[in-house]
Chains A and B, each alone.
Chain A
Amino acid sequence: MGVVRNVLDDGLEGLDHNFLTGRIEDLVKWSRSRSSWGATFGLACCAIEMMGTGAPHYDLARFGMEVFRASPRQADIMIVAGRVSQKMAPVLRQVYDQMMEPKWVISMGVCASSGGMFNNYAIVQGVDQVVPVDVYAPGCPPTPETLIHAIETLHQLIEDGEIMRRRATSGAGANVHIQEIPAGITTPVILGSR
């Protein structure tokens, strides 16, 4: 620590330099990862576990997620907790669009990640069909420890800058793909017009 010579004796003159240098990017990424607030997008059972993670025993506040903001304008991370139905998918997209950059998405639970145990007409098979997802947390529902691990993984990715780099190269945006369900079943299921 060549920076400090003898502060006790010489006061400020005991500092070799009274500037600490660093990159602004690092400072920004550090502060972003340590104070990201979540948007409430609790849908089903995973929402209960998400609330449990915010509860005193598991306490998300110590990781910087002090509050869950209802307004997407004030939130950074959208934790999609629960199964997304056909009716809910446009709402999900709308709330995601209303969030301000930089924003991240954690897909919590298997229903959000892939449709889960409900491989049927009513559930969107993975929210990555609607919004771009950064971290997937498996479990049905994921225990609070799993969710904390997912959030911390996201924080690490934010701090490394990995996500921003990837977004810049891939062009940033949801890969919405519409898949035609092939014949072989009695009645073709027509997905909703929206």
Chain B
Amino acid sequence: MGRLTVVHHPRAAGLRRALGALAVAALCVSAVTFYRDAPELPRSAPAGAGGPPSLTSLAPTAQAPSASQSPSTSPTATRTITATRAKLPKGPGTTQPGILLMASPLPDGSFDVAEIVLLSTPTSALRVGPPRLADAGDRFSRAKPVASQVQVSAGDQPVLVPGGRVKQHLDLALNTPAERIELRYHLSGITVRSVPSRAGRALTAISPLVDGVPKGFPVAMVVSGSTVLNIECPILRRVQDQACSSGRPPNLRVRPKLPWSGAVIVVQFDLPRPQ
């Protein structure tokens, strides 16, 4: 760099300055690109949490008014849910109107699911319904999905869910109008063994419980877990679009933001061996 590139040698100096400016510009562009695309980077599952992060810091059994079942009979009982706020991806449900659905498989093949809803205007009632299996394919025709241990928060207020279960469409009344709503629940009865396939391979259909929103309401979906292999969007028309996951395990995202009416995904994952 020394004497050759000092300004007394115009050509070398000019070349040095040009290279420098190019390198600086490239790094600045990289910085902007990184900032924009960093939420898509692969992340490991949070240690000790065993489930998707929550917008609030409420513990799972703290919601006495919701009359939810005790978690003592499910594999979720021994997990520790973090009490601190985790970083949520920007987009539907967090920074813009929509739903952010985050799901993690549990050892028994059921799923721990969180739905974070951000509405355009506050609402006094929330409509929920069971997962839509009709759009997931014939292999789920005999599945009987059950959303149990359902906890709902509207703003900071807990919402009563009768029996803590959603097996049919329900209208839940909110104490005060809210535009931010969070649901946490255990989804079971929805996993089928993938046949023919290697031993332990399974499929689950997931769609939001939240109902009564416009058909085009955007839904972002994330499935995390080291056993998750792939995500399929059966609603999408083009075959090449149906393989709709992006990122890498253990954090897969559904690449397009699906409209609520088409927000059904099929998750391929491996079941752990019985111990």
The answer on A and B forming one complex is no
